[in-house]
Amino acid sequence: MQLEDYFNFLAPNDIRIKGTRVGIETVLYDFIHRKRLPEEIAQSYRTITLEQVYATILYYLHNQEAVSKYLADWMDFAHQQRKAQELNPPPALVWLRQELAKRKQTSEEQVVIQK
């Protein structure tokens, strides 16, 4: 079996662990940035095995320059999406924030009345 056989290369910016919907960025972010052990990562995701976690890490080590760029692009995209969502939040989130603010204000008013 070749190392690449562990993955589905759906697009240049979308590499998934074969047989799952888990992208390699998920495993590698946990491993590189969160400093989690492969065993911890495998336990966190029901659909991947410890072997697949190790294969993902090995793939990264064998293709470090390309995969590092892949991860950097993924993180940039995620930051852009968060900023876009902050600037234009979904209506349900706007409503939820308004409701929480109302409840907080009501709660604070009740505390003042009780004193």
- Chain-centre distance for alpha carbon 42: 15
* Domain presence at residue 51: yes
Does the predicted TM-score (pTM) go above 0.75?
no
| Predicted confidence band of residue 112 (pLDDT cuts 50, 70, 90) | low
Distance between CA atoms of residues 43 and 53, nearest Å: 10
* Domain presence at residue 105: no
Query: What average pLDDT does the chain have?
Result: 92
Question: What pLDDT is recorded for position 104?
Answer: 86
Name residue, tokens 């336990």: 43
The number of distinct structural domains making up the chain is 1
* Domain presence at residue 29: yes
| Predicted confidence band of residue 111 (pLDDT cuts 50, 70, 90) | low
* Domain presence at residue 108: no
| CATH code of the domain containing 55 | 1.10.10
User: Are 48 and 19 contacting, i.e. CB atoms less than 8 angstroms apart?
Assistant: no
* Domain presence at residue 110: no
Distance between CA atoms of residues 40 and 50, nearest Å: 9
Q: For the chain, give me the number of helices (H) and strands (E)? A: 5, 2
Determine the structural domain holding residue 83 and report its residue range. Answer: 3-88
* Domain presence at residue 34: yes
- Is it the case that residue 21 has pLDDT exceeding 80? yes
